[in-house]
Amino acid sequence: MTYRPAENSFHRGIVCLNSGERVAALAYFEAAVRLDKQRYPMHPTMRYLSYFGLCLAFATDSLQEAQRCCEEAAQAEFYNPDMHWNLGRVALLNGDRQAAFAAFCCGLKIDGNHAGLRFQIRRLGVRKRRVLSALGRSHPLNRIAGRVRSNLSE
């Protein structure tokens, strides 16, 4: 149940996004969302909304709205790893590493071989254990001991 003009706009947006033209991609994704809502107001296509949110975050300062769009799409299509990938990338842009990690892990549970999700998880990295486990991670002694451990391992 796809509306051809909306689908064409979506595919043009993907091409622009992949070539780094984020503002043009945003315009195409916005057009896809609007066309789709006109045709199917009760059952919008969530991937259009998800990619619109992603480009909104890339191209503007509307990070809260972008995250809301991606969250809505990820909740509606919880079985689609791309929705979680987009949500995680927007959460990273919003400075929420914890939400990004959770979204990426959700997506990997669905598709463990998703290249984008695997790349993002590797990019986030894994924190080492605290040197002094009885103290909090932000305690000054742990911070100093962690720096010493890091310098010794180099």
17 within some domain: yes
Q: What is the CATH number of the domain that holds 42?
A: 1.25.40.10
pLDDT digits (tens, 9 = 90+) for 8-37: 999 999 999 999 999 999 999 999 999 998
pLDDT digits (tens, 9 = 90+) for 42-76: 888 999 999 999 999 999 889 999 999 999 999 99
Could you please report the per-residue DSSP string of the chain? ---HHHHHHHHHHHHHHHTT-HHHHHHHHHHHHHHHHHH-TTS--HHHHHHHHHHHHHHSS-HHHHHHHHHHHHHHTTT-HHHHHHHHHHHHHTT-HHHHHHHHHHHHHH-TT-HHHHHHHHHH--PPPPSSTTS-TTSHHHHHHHHHHHHHH-
Domain count along the chain: 1
Instruction: Over range 110-139, report the average pLDDT.
Output: 89
pLDDT at 154: 65
138 within some domain: no
137 within some domain: no
pLDDT at 81: 96
The reported pTM is 0.79
